[in-house]
């Protein structure tokens, strides 16, 4: 089988690979992730900050528990993020979605803490029902652009 000449093809393959990596949104060390750039606060949240947000979420109707975890963003400057689980006794999808929407808003509108990507879920442990970002029409774990468009600028 005849082989193709190596001249030019290797350069083309390397160029295509490099462009693909850049367009895929991969973060590189020292380069902030685009969703984190505009949302960094002066400090990371303390446990008291996270607990205060959990208390505001627990005060929502039908919420039986809330647990948030803050991550600094250890993957090449990927920015800070929140993961969370909110438990509820609600059984209809509209109420699950309302609780999730309120949870996103509480996290986004807390100006004392940094916020990059946010990924809480709402679950009813008794029925197995739940709500996540896609139920609200959000894309995966939304970052600053989507949250600002939905809830307005952070205070």
What are the tokens at 42? 């002066």
DSSP letter, residue 141: S
Task: Return the closest-CA partner of residue 66 out of 120, 110, 130, 135.
Answer: 120
User: Could you name the CATH architecture of 32-151?
Assistant: 2-Layer Sandwich (3.30)
Residue with tokens 């250890």: 74
How far lies 73's CA from each of 17, 24, 50, 145, in Å?
Answer: 26, 18, 16, 18
Task: Output the pLDDT for position 114.
Answer: 66
Q: Report which of residues 146 and 125 the model is more confident about.
A: 125
Q: Where are the beta strands (DSSP E) in 31-152?
A: 63-71, 81-88, 117-123, 130-131
pLDDT over 80 at 154, yes or no: yes
Most confident of 12-21, 35-44, 73-82, 143-152: 143-152
pLDDT band at 81 (very low <50, low <70, confident <90, very high): confident
| Higher pLDDT, residue 24 or 55 | 55
pLDDT tens sequence across 28-51:
343 334 334 334 444 677 888 889
C-alpha to C-alpha distance for 93 and 135, rounded to whole angstroms: 9
Q: What percent of the chain has pLDDT over 90?
A: 39
d(CA 126, CA 129): 8
3-state class (DSSP) for residue 88:
strand
In the chain, domain spans:
32-151
Residues 90-138 pLDDT 10s: 999 999 999 999 999 998 888 766 667 788 999 999 999 999 999 998 8
pLDDT recorded at residue 118? 83
């Amino acid at each position: 089988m005849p082989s193709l000449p190596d001249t030019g093809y290797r350069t083309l393959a390397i160029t295509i690979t490099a462009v693909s990596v850049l367009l895929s949104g991969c973060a590189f060390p020292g380069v902030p992730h685009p969703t984190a750039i505009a949302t960094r606060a002066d400090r990371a949240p303390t446990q008291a900050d996270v607990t205060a947000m959990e208390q505001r979420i627990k005060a929502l109707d039908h919420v039986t528990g809330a647990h948030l975890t803050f991550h600094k963003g250890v993957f090449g400057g990927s920015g800070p993020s929140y993961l969370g689980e909110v438990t509820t006794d609600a059984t209809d999808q509209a109420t699950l979605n309302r609780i999730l929407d309120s949870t996103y808003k509480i996290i986004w509108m807390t100006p004392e803490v940094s916020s990059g990507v946010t990924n809480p879920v709402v679950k009813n442990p008794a029925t197995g029902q739940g709500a996540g970002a896609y139920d609200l029409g959000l894309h995966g774990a939304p970052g600053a652009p989507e949250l600002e468009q939905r809830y307005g600028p952070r205070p």
